């Protein structure tokens, strides 16, 4: 895998959202929402549909103007800033790839539309696009058109395109919503690895608690335009702040214990297990019939 | 295994119609085309060439006919570009934004289709005629609009207005706004977004709209007939000229000029085909 596509640490941004409200006609999408995303964090906005999470993400990106309240990037008020000047990478729910452009051109778009004096040379663009396509493991598909790709491939192209402009914040709207379960698992793991590598401040919207708990450093649970709880995944499960939170995460069962389990693969062979951090105590989260094992140290803080 | 493979490779029998039905349907379609498209077209040329090539070219080169051809081309040259711009702008506004009066605008776009072309012509006479609402203003500026070229251009633009918008709106509505939003976030200006993202997505709608708009602009009779005043060699378009010749029992000349109009249509179709090839990636 290539080096980080965006600049080193320190170029990443913190996001602060203060008292945002937004209505569409008589429907209140956001009601006095405030929270902060620290530089380098991976935060999940979790909630049922209609809870305002996508609106919140779009307000941060500048695609929607709030009725009241403000959005701050690194402490600077960016509420009125045009989306093109916000330095955000946005991955749309249905990818919104440019259908008449090849994969290569999709990824190159953000570089090509720069003002002439900031635009990289053609060679540089080619190099950067190949680097990004390599990062998402799609370098061999550069000549294809979006309609010729699978959902998972489109998702990765969308990601590469968003990263091409070296955003200081990555915003993802239901990034895995339209994919089948297996691809979703893979991409999720991949996104987590990517985030560990480049530490880009990231916010993603999801209605899938499993996804939020597995990926995020912090989970912001939303309902009816309000934030119900803003806490690390472990805390959301262990100490739901409101009845809504415990209800929404209802099918998550919690076990404490030592990891002495032996995990077997499909053919009954024991599989090696690795746990970072404190090995003696772990939290097992069971969602439906799936088991996640995580060291307590990681999830609790 | 083998049976399954054969069944999967060969076209399933039950999905194709019996041969008789297929031939019947094809026959009906072709027969209809021959009767309603090819035959009338052939008649135009047969009648035009009835007295041989000499009289044919004579009728075409007649100064009045040439003036009519020029005027028709002028009217189309104004109407098509103007309606391309208006149509795409109106389509953009209607398909991509929600604003008060949007439904009204959608309805108004269809107005030139809904009203009779004669009324469309009358509107301009009533508006710019000597006793019209804007007549004195035009007279002050020494502008002759009605019974002159500007009136014909205006009437042509009016009746051919809806074509581009009508073609573009459904395409724009189908593509939605997400790609534009993506372009914005990636740093594209409004201009870049339009030319790099929006326009390529609607290019077929724009092309077909322009073709239809052009066909209507060159073929319009009713509205132009009202504003024209039918001054020979000055305010006659090709369709008007054809009618005059026909009414004067100059059938061969009428068909010769009609064949000119037909050739313009053929040229339009050729341009369309060439553009299609170029635009297809």
CB A138 within 8 Å of CB A153: yes
Residue B201 contacts A where some CB pair is shorter than 8 Å = yes
pLDDT at res. A83: 87
**Which comes out higher in pLDDT, residue B280 or B68?**
B68
Whether B183 has its CB under 8 Å from any CB of chain A: the answer is yes
Query: pLDDT digits over A134-154, tens only?
Result: 888 888 988 999 999 988 899
Instruction: Using the predicted structure, report yes or no on whether residue B121 has a pLDDT greater than 80.
Output: yes
Report ipTM (2 d.p.): 0.77
Using the predicted structure, report yes or no on whether residue B230 has a pLDDT greater than 50.
yes
Sign of CA dihedral B138, B143, B145, B146: positive
- Region at A116 (left for phi over 0; alpha for psi -120 to 50; beta for the rest): alpha
Q: Give the pair of three-digit tokens for residue B160.
A: 């051919």
Contact call for B197 and A84, based on CB within 8 A: no
Instruction: Give the model's pLDDT for residue A6.
Output: 42
C-alpha distance from B165 to closest chain A C-alpha (Å):
21
Per-residue model confidence (pLDDT) at position A100: 92
Task: Work out the burial of residue B212: count CB atoms within 10 Å of its CB; fewer than 13 is exposed, 13-18 middle, 19 or more buried.
Answer: middle
Query: What average pLDDT does this structure show over A26-37?
Result: 91
Which residue of chain A comes nearest to B187, CA vs CA? Answer: A84
Are A202 and A41 in contact, with CB atoms under 8 Å apart? yes
pLDDT at A253: 53
Inform me whether the pLDDT recorded for A282 exceeds 70: no
pLDDT tens for each residue of A187-217: 888 888 888 888 889 999 998 888 888 889 8
Q: Which domains are assigned to chain B?
A: 1-48 (no CATH), 52-280 (1.10.3720.10)
Q: Supply the DSSP string of B35-72, one letter for each residue.
A: IIIIHHHHHHHHHHTTT-HHHHHHHHHSHHHHHHHHHH
Q: What is the pLDDT of residue B167?
A: 92
Interchain CB contact of B189 with A (< 8 Å): yes
pLDDT digits (tens, 9 = 90+) for A238-272: 888 888 888 888 765 555 444 455 555 556 655 55
B8-52 pLDDT per residue, tens: 455 566 677 788 888 999 999 999 999 998 898 899 899 888 888
The confidence score (pLDDT) of residue A180 equals 79
The helix/strand/coil state of B78 is: helix
Q: What average pLDDT does chain A have?
A: 81
pLDDT for B270 beyond 70 = yes
- The vertex-B211 CA angle with B205 and B213, nearest 5°, equals 95
pTM (2 decimals)?
A: 0.76
């Amino acid at each position: 895998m290539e080096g980080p596509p965006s600049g080193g640490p320190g170029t990443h941004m913190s996001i602060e959202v203060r008292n945002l409200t937004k209505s569409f006609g008589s429907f209140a999408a956001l009601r006095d929402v405030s929270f902060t995303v620290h530089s380098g964090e991976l935060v999940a906005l979790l909630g049922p549909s209609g809870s305002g999470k996508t609106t919140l993400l779009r307000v941060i990106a500048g695609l929607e103007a709030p009725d009241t309240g403000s959005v701050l990037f690194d402490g600077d008020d960016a509420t009125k800033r045009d989306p093109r000047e916000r330095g955000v990478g946005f991955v749309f729910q249905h990818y919104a790839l440019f259908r008449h452009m090849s994969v290569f051109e999709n990824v190159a778009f953000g570089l090509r539309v720069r003002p002439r004096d900031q635009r990289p040379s053609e060679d540089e663009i080619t190099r950067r696009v190949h680097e990004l396509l390599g990062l998402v493991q799609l370098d061999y598909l550069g000549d294809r058109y979006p309609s010729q790709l699978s959902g998972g491939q489109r998702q990765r192209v969308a990601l590469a395109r968003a990263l091409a402009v070296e955003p200081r914040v990555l915003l993802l709207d239901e990034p895995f919503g339209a994919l089948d379960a297996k691809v979703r698992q893979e991409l999720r793991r991949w996104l987590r690895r990517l985030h560990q590598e480049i530490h880009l401040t990231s916010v993603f919207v999801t209605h899938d608690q499993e996804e939020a708990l597995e990926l995020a450093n912090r989970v912001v649970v939303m309902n009816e335009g309000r934030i119900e709880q803003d806490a690390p995944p472990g805390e959301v499960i262990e100490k739901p702040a409101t009845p809504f939170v415990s209800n929404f995460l209802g099918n998550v069962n919690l076990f404490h214990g030592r990891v002495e389990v032996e995990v077997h693969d499909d053919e009954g062979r024991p599989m090696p297990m690795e746990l970072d951090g404190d090995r003696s105590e772990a939290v097992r989260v069971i969602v439906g019939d799936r088991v996640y094992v995580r060291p307590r140290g990681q999830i609790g803080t | 295994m083998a049976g399954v493979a054969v069944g999967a490779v060969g076209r399933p029998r039950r999905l194709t119609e019996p041969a008789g039905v297929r031939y019947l349907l094809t026959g009906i379609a072709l027969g209809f085309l021959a009767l309603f498209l090819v035959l009338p077209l052939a008649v135009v040329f047969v009648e035009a060439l009835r007295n041989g090539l000499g009289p044919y070219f004579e009728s075409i080169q007649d100064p009045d006919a040439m003036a009519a051809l020029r005027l028709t081309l002028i009217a189309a040259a104004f109407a098509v570009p103007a309606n391309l711009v208006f149509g795409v702008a109106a389509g953009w506004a209607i398909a991509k934004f929600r604003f008060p009066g949007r439904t009204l605008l959608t309805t108004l776009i269809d107005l030139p289709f809904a009203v009779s072309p004669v009324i469309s012509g009358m509107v301009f006479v009533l508006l710019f005629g000597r006793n019209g609402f804007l007549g004195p203003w035009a007279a002050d500026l020494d502008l002759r609009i009605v019974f002159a070229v500007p009136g014909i251009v205006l009437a042509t633009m009016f009746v051919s207005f809806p074509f581009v918008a009508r073609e573009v709106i459904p395409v724009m509505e189908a593509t939605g706004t997400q790609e534009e939003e993506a372009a914005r976030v990636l740093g594209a200006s409004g201009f870049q977004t339009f030319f790099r993202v929006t326009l390529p997505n609607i290019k077929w709608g724009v092309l077909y709209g322009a073709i239809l708009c052009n066909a209507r602009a060159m073929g319009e009779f009713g509205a132009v007939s009202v504003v024209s005043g039918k001054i020979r060699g000055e305010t006659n378009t090709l369709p008007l000229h054809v009618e005059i010749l026909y009414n004067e029992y100059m059938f061969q000349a009428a068909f010769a000029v009609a064949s000119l109009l037909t050739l313009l249509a053929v040229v339009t179709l050729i341009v369309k085909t060439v553009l299609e090839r170029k635009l297809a990636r």
